[in-house]
Amino acid sequence: MGVLHLGQIKQALETAYLPHLNLKDAGLDHHKLSRAVAALAMADRSGLPVQTVAKSVTDHGQDNGIDGVVYAADRSTMIFVQSKWTDTANGLSLGDVLKFIRGVEMLLIGDWSTFGGPIVSRRSEIEDILFQAGTKIELVLATTTTAVLSQPQIDALEKFCTNMNDASEIAGYTYLNQARLHQSVASESGSQIDLTVNLRNWGSYREAGCVAYYGTASAQEIVGWYQAHGNLLFSRNIRGALTGTEVNESIVATAGSDPSRFWFFNNGITAIAESFEQAPFVNQKSGNFTFARASVVNGAQTVSSLAQAARDKPELVESADVFVRFVTVDDPDGDFARLITRRTNTQNRVGGREFVALDPEQERIRMEFGVSSLRYAYRSGETVTDPSKGCDLTDATVALACAVGIDEAVLAKRELSRLWEDTSKAPYKALFNPSVTATHVWTAVEVMRKVDRVLDVVKAQLDTRDRTLVVHGNRFVLWAVMDRLDVGSVKAESDFTIPFDEDEIGTITELTVQEMIKLVRENFADSYPQPLFKNQTKCRKLGALIAEALDDKQ
């Protein structure tokens, strides 16, 4: 064991975390410190302040191995933590890990029958987040031992993630041992990092007593920073390095597939530092600089993603370059430095959703809606507050996807942004094209709303697992109802009157739910509900079965 490291971690936990924790029923010191470890782990993985993560500790005699639950909204990830303070070589046992996994599995299927303590009071919050489309899962094991995870523990965690990820990457795990926890507390205490970098085609900018240096650095050099310092590199950032986000995946893909043009596709990195030194013989073409007390305040995802790409394909990253900017300030912890951090991290991000606004079909549909005094909001920031008066792009996309086909419906459930990824080809063009009129859109949206209202009533009448199936299978049910009604080929009246009876929609929806639950039990009993309805292969099979079942019933 690292006695000095362990002592420093304990000091940090006692000073920064214990005062904010509810220590009821934690009679022994190691119980109290274990709760503090859970809070530290949640702070490390979410970037949330101590006061918030302290309230997220769920350690209790009936926690089923789950010592903390917190939501990292910036990466749409629900984080479950199992923690243990130990001053011996013994960390988490295989039994501990299996209990933890089973506890998470129970929450995923809505089984709260054996839970007690603080986590129960958060049931509504946890279920609301887990049932949101796009929510990901991260299992975090945190312990102060220096030991590594055993192979049986790794196998159990990998099996859980594999089962969850059969449609898309929505689950992962992180192991925080003594070294990682020490790194985290050291980051919080503001340890000094000096960064050396070779800048090509560099320049400087001086204003208001500050000087900034900017230029092009090699990706390999950036990766070296991360390998040497880890998350300490981001000690003054609003968050550390994230994993599993769309932004990270895009950066990794670009670095791996088109490294020579990475500089053009990436926004670069901003760091602050207290001072700098220039090596002799500096010229504008190439110069070596050392920046003291440096921290990356914008671009953490670029740094960590390049490190991931370097692990996967080191030979490709060799040709990638990155734009970097160092701002030197007298006090890296002062107001101006904090302002730089805040402002560089709050610029508007432009994605596929925004590029849809450039498609002329969207404006045509908006104008057709307007003729009937209805609104269609397709630009970011526009909303329709009264659903009876219109709809927005998200409503239209989900509804049309479920009207077009099972593959599109699965994509709407799994990753809505993929439907907007490229407005020049499928799947976007299958939803929005010259043949799709405003009445098409309005019909699909109104059917979706009626189905959703029926599902809200039906869910309240079901037990936990069946209710979970309906929550995660809502878009599958919508597709089945629309397929039954043949919504994709039926046009509404010119006055936007929907050509379907509400009672008919309700009857088909209820029957679809009954048959879906039955078929899932018979054919996919071992599948988790969340990934099941994001898997195209399984949903195609389930779709064929339910179409046959509905034919027999009607």
Q: What is the pLDDT of residues 231-241, one digit of tens each?
A: 667 766 555 45
Q: To the nearest whole percent, how much of the chain has pLDDT over 90? A: 40
- Average confidence (pLDDT) over 345-372: 77
- What is the pLDDT at residue 492? 59
Q: Is the pLDDT of residue 537 over 70?
A: yes
pLDDT tens figures, 45-80: 887 788 889 999 999 999 999 999 998 876 778 999
Q: Is the pLDDT of residue 296 over 50?
A: yes
Residues in a beta bridge with 230: none
Given 1.10.1760, 3.30.1490, 3.40.91, 3.40.50, which CATH number is that of 3-187?
3.40.91
- What is the pLDDT at residue 112? 93
| 380 Cα distance to chain centroid | 20
Most confident residue range from 1-5, 13-17, 307-311, 472-476: 472-476
From residue 337, give the alpha-carbon distance in Å to each of 279, 384, 403.
25, 39, 51
Spatial separation of the C-alpha atoms in residues 274 and 290, rounded to whole Å? 11
Which 8-state DSSP code applies to residue 121? Answer: G
- Contact between 58 and 123 under an 8 Å Cβ cutoff? The reply is no
Spatial separation of the C-alpha atoms in residues 538 and 454, rounded to whole Å? 25
Strand 210-218, strand 295-298: pairing? unpaired
Strand 195-207, strand 286-292: pairing? antiparallel
- Average confidence (pLDDT) over 396-402: 97
Domain with CATH 3.40.91 in the chain: 3-187
* Ramachandran region, residue 328 (left: φ > 0; alpha: ψ -120 to 50; beta: rest): beta
- Average confidence (pLDDT) over 16-45: 88
Spatial separation of the C-alpha atoms in residues 61 and 442, rounded to whole Å? 52
- Average confidence (pLDDT) over 208-235: 82
Q: How confident is the model at residue 191 (pLDDT cuts 50, 70, 90)?
A: low
Spatial separation of the C-alpha atoms in residues 158 and 172, rounded to whole Å? 8
- What is the pLDDT at residue 140? 95
From the number of C-beta atoms within 10 Å of its C-beta (0-12, 13-18, 19+), residue 160 rates as: buried
The lowest-confidence range among 291-295, 371-375, 409-413, 495-499 is 495-499
- What is the pLDDT at residue 98? 96
Mean pLDDT for the chain overall: 85
Phi–psi pair at 2, nearest 5 degrees: -85, 95
| Alpha helix stretches (DSSP H) within 213-290 | 219-229, 246-257, 262-265
Which 8-state DSSP code applies to residue 455? Answer: H
- Contact between 295 and 241 under an 8 Å Cβ cutoff? The reply is no
User: 505: which residues sit within 8 A by CB, 6+ positions away?
Assistant: 447, 450, 451, 454, 481, 485
Q: Is the pLDDT of residue 2 over 80?
A: no
Tokens for 451? 């189905």
- Average confidence (pLDDT) over 164-183: 85
Residues 344-373: b if buried by 16+ CB within 10 A, e if exposed: bbeeeeeebbeebeebebbebbbebbeeee
Q: Which residue has the higher pLDDT, 409 or 208?
A: 409
- Dihedral (CA of 71, 72, 76, 82) sign: negative
Q: Is the pLDDT of residue 249 over 70?
A: no
Spatial separation of the C-alpha atoms in residues 229 and 112, rounded to whole Å? 41
From residue 166, give the alpha-carbon distance in Å to each of 104, 139, 169, 530, 532.
17, 17, 8, 10, 8
Spatial separation of the C-alpha atoms in residues 107 and 72, rounded to whole Å? 18
Phi–psi pair at 497, nearest 5 degrees: -75, 130
Strand 195-207, strand 171-176: pairing? unpaired
- What is the pLDDT at residue 259? 75
Q: Which residue has the higher pLDDT, 36 or 205?
A: 36
Spatial separation of the C-alpha atoms in residues 190 and 234, rounded to whole Å? 10
Spatial separation of the C-alpha atoms in residues 475 and 217, rounded to whole Å? 46
Q: Where are the beta strands (DSSP E) in 227-301?
A: 269-273, 275-278, 286-292, 295-298
Q: Which residue has the higher pLDDT, 191 or 294?
A: 294
Q: How confident is the model at residue 348 (pLDDT cuts 50, 70, 90)?
A: very low
513 closest CA partner among 445, 461, 446: 461
Residues in a beta bridge with 275: 292
- Average confidence (pLDDT) over 260-288: 81
Rg (CA), the chain: 26
- Dihedral (CA of 448, 454, 458, 460) sign: positive
- What is the pLDDT at residue 262? 82
- What is the pLDDT at residue 188? 60
Spatial separation of the C-alpha atoms in residues 405 and 479, rounded to whole Å? 7
